[in-house]
Amino acid sequence: MVLSLSDLTRIVTELSELADLDKSIDHVTSSARWLFGADEAGVTLIKPGAKLETVAPTADLAARADSMQHELGEGPCIDAATEAQIVRTDDPANDERWPRWGPAIAELGVRSSISVDLVNQQLRLGALNLYGKRHEQFAHLDPDELRTYATHVMAVLGATHRIESLETALETRTVIGQAEGMLMERFSIDAVTAFAVLRRASQQSNVKLRDLAEQLVQKGDISGILGDRDH
């Protein structure tokens, strides 16, 4: 199927209207499946610590195909995500690049796959993975079209990710400010001192600053946070 400008524009527009990153990724996989003639599709996310996670699979087959790569430590989606490239196999059972994953996935009925990295300067998301039940199902797919699709959706996903990051940062600043206010009122200290107290308590208790602040705000109990401080 030829990727038309109208199809790409419509999909990007629909993505831009989704404020949630998870919903956006769902739309990426379902749209890619239709656009590129795949039987199933999924996304491999690169999580902190280089851990891999499968999200938004269009069916259980895609979820299993992805997760098997994570478990075995080999496969096209891993190569695409880590090396920022398009990786295709027309016959995984006999592909020497992945001696364990290929035969295992063939037993599930996967006869071909293609993966493209979802990476740009702002965000390293992972890889989009397309699976087919026929040999050479993606042999005639123009890699430039797949790259164009990935580039455009990453622009939208990157913007969504930045919005979510800003919202998280704002929420963190808000709850820390509330905790500071409680300490300032209770112990007659200024904002700088209140923040220093929170930070020290966070380090001593090995609890993240935001989590500690949330505990204080939710429970309303600040007894003991200053330790032996002379009030």
**Is 65 found in the same domain as 177?**
no
Domain contains 156: yes
Q: What is the distance between the alpha carbons of residues 8 and 11, in angstroms, rounded to a whole number? A: 5
Q: What is the distance between the alpha carbons of residues 105 and 76, in angstroms, rounded to a whole number? A: 12
Among the listed ranges 64-68, 150-154, 157-161, 190-194, which one has the minimum average pLDDT value? 157-161
Please report which helix (H) or strand (E) contains residue 152, including its range: helix 143-187
Among the listed ranges 113-122, 201-210, 218-227, which one has the minimum average pLDDT value? 218-227
Domain contains 231: no
Domain limits for position 36? 5-161
Looking at residue 231, what is its pLDDT?
Answer: 43
Residue 129's closest CA among 37, 211, 62?
62
Q: How far is CA 64 from CA 89, 101, 195, 216, 227, in A?
A: 17, 11, 47, 42, 51
Looking at residue 228, what is its pLDDT?
Answer: 42
* Cα 116–chain centre separation: 15
Over the stretch 173-215, which tens digit does the pLDDT of each residue have?
Answer: 788 888 888 888 888 888 888 888 888 888 888 888 888 888 8
**Is 91 found in the same domain as 65?**
yes
The encoded tokens of residue 171 equal: 């929420």
**Is 145 found in the same domain as 173?**
no
